[in-house]
């Protein structure tokens, strides 16, 4: 029976129990735990260097109040990178291709930044809805447009991550299917197709990391506006 290309995005089940919770929880086991030794191994040193560079890149333009989010956003980025890269392995499931999961992250964190802004500096938070120097006749229209753009932010976060990962997985499956079908008929073309597949896989690894970084970076920009 011919299966749909979109079957790979269905949440796997075992005896009627969805396994998406296991797919989300399992990657945490892969992270090395810090030790109290003076000298760490290379993996822990690389992990610490990566986290420090990430914090410097994201939280440098944010004032001191926003640095409380460092642990949360850093953990989120490492978590998303791990899920995205593990999803490129054969016979695995990528939870971040589910719009519901990405929207759960995006809506809650975006709403937290908005609530912080309304609580700490309500005047400045509401001031983002009306640019300075706006002509009086355009004030109602601009307020409506800025309000809509504000509420579209979490939707854009979730859809961007889902769409990029879904498109990459579909493209990999299409090219892999083409290489498998062409192998007995045109071996040379099949080898060239397999080469393209290998390069595309490397590109998807980069996309998996970049999309996680963009997700956290945009959240940090929303946080910067409200702290």
The one-digit pLDDT tens for each residue of the chain (227 residues) are: 345 666 666 777 777 767 777 778 777 777 777 667 766 677 777 878 888 888 888 877 777 777 888 888 888 888 899 889 988 888 788 888 888 889 999 999 999 998 988 888 878 777 777 777 778 787 888 888 888 988 999 999 999 999 999 888 888 888 988 888 888 888 888 899 999 999 999 999 999 999 999 999 899 888 888 87
- The pLDDT of residue 3: 56
SS3 of the chain: helix, strand, coil, percent, to 5 = 75, 0, 20
Question: Rounded to 5 degrees, what are φ and ψ at 182?
Answer: -80, -15
Q: Which domain holds residue 165?
A: 1-226
- The pLDDT of residue 1: 36
C-alpha gyration radius of the chain: 22
- The pLDDT of residue 2: 43
Q: How many independent structural domains does the chain possess?
A: 1
pTM, whole model, 2 decimals? 0.83
């Amino acid at each position: 029976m011919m299966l749909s290309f979109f079957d790979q995005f269905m949440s796997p089940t075992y005896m009627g129990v969805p396994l998406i919770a296991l797919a989300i929880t399992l990657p945490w086991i892969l992270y090395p735990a810090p030790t109290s030794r003076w000298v760490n191994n290379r993996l822990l040193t690389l992990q610490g260097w990566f986290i420090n560079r990430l914090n410097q890149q994201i939280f440098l333009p944010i004032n001191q109040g926003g640095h409380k989010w460092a642990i949360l956003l850093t953990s989120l980025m490492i978590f998303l990178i791990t899920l995205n890269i593990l999803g490129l392995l054969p016979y695995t499931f990528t939870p971040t291709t589910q719009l519901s999961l990405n929207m759960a992250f995006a809506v809650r964190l975006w709403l937290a930044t908005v609530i912080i802004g309304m609580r700490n500096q309500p005047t400045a938070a509401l001031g983002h809805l009306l640019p300075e120097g706006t002509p009086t006749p355009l004030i109602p229209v601009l307020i409506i447009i800025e309000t809509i753009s504000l509420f579209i932010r979490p939707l854009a976060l979730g859809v961007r991550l889902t769409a990029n990962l879904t498109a990459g997985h579909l493209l990999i499956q299409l090219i892999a299917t083409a290489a498998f079908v062409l192998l007995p008929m045109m071996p040379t073309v099949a080898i060239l197709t397999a080469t393209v597949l290998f390069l595309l896989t490397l590109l998807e690894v980069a996309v998996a990391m970049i999309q996680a970084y963009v997700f956290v970076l945009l959240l940090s920009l929303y946080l910067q506006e409200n702290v």
